[in-house]
């Protein structure tokens, strides 16, 4: 078993779950608090399970069969939820829909970058250094998305520049959504390595 590859699978899976979580939370915020509590609870439970499993890498440096099986089950659930999410990406019709998609993607990218930094700390300091250089980039993207979501929920004016940036990120996200199935195949392969 290759612990670094397994950890990479865990990071990517966590990133997808964060993406689903932020999407649901943002949709609820933008819809006057109409949250899908059941879906958010399921996602939150899986995020907690993954968080608990990360300690294995600090201690044993690899996954045992029990944790592999648990992560594969989570990956299957997440993959199914991501199919629904992908449909929502491709069928977004309003600025609010697009904003929820963008917020989820931007947050997931930041979580993945942070996970790769931790992976570098555990397994390869060169990777850690390279991805630490991206922290400010992701932080700025998250800050912009947060500001736009806040303006939208408060009914404040969103600048044309902000709208254009959200639209550009949405287009990028919709174009790359076709890779989700492949991503989950990779995640499952990494976890089993």
Q: Distance (Å, rounded) from C-alpha 177 to C-alpha 11?
A: 18
Q: Examine the pLDDT at 55 and tell me if it is beyond 90.
A: no
| 109 C-beta neighbours (distance < 10 Å), count | 18
Q: What tokens were used for 71?
A: 């992560």
71 CB contacts (<8 Å, ≥6 apart)?
Answer: 9, 10, 13, 50, 53, 63, 191
Buried b (16+ CB within 10 A) or exposed e, 149-164: beebeeeeeeeeebee
| Average pLDDT over all residues of the chain | 95
Alpha carbons within 13 angstroms on the beta-carbon side of residue 55 total 4
For residue 93, give Cα distances in angstroms to 29, 31, 78, 87, 158: 17, 14, 24, 12, 18
Find the domain containing 145 and state its range. 3-192
Question: pLDDT digit string (tens) for 150-163?
Answer: 999 999 999 999 99
Name the nearest CA neighbour of 109 among 172, 61, 178.
172
Name the nearest CA neighbour of 43 among 15, 18, 68.
18
Long-range interactions of 155-159: CB distance < 8 A, separation 24+: none
Q: Examine the pLDDT at 59 and tell me if it is beyond 80.
A: no
Number of domains in the chain: 1
In the chain, what percentage of residues exceed pLDDT 90? 91
Res 32: pLDDT: 86
Q: Distance (Å, rounded) from C-alpha 193 to C-alpha 191?
A: 6
| Residue with more model confidence, 2 or 143 | 143
């Amino acid at each position: 078993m290759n612990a670094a590859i397994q950890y990479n699978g865990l990071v990517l899976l966590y990133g997808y779950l964060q993406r689903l979580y932020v999407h649901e939370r943002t949709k609820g915020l933008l819809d006057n608090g109409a949250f899908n509590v059941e879906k958010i609870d399921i996602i939150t439970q899986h995020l907690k399970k993954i968080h608990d499993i990360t300690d294995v890498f600090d201690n044993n440096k690899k996954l045992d069969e029990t944790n592999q099986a648990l992560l594969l089950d989570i990956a299957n659930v997440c993959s199914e939820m991501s199919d629904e999410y992908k449909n929502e990406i491709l069928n977004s019709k309003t600025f609010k829909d697009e904003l929820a998609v963008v917020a989820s993607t931007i947050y997931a990218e930041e979580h993945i970058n942070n996970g790769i930094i931790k992976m570098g700390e555990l397994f390869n300091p060169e990777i850690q250094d390279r991805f630490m250089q991206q922290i400010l980039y992701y932080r700025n993207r998250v800050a912009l998305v947060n500001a736009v979501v806040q303006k939208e929920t408060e009914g404040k004016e969103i600048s044309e520049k902000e709208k254009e940036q959200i639209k550009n990120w949405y287009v990028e996200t919709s174009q790359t959504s076709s890779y989700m199935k492949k991503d989950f195949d990779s995640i499952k392969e990494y976890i089993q390595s």
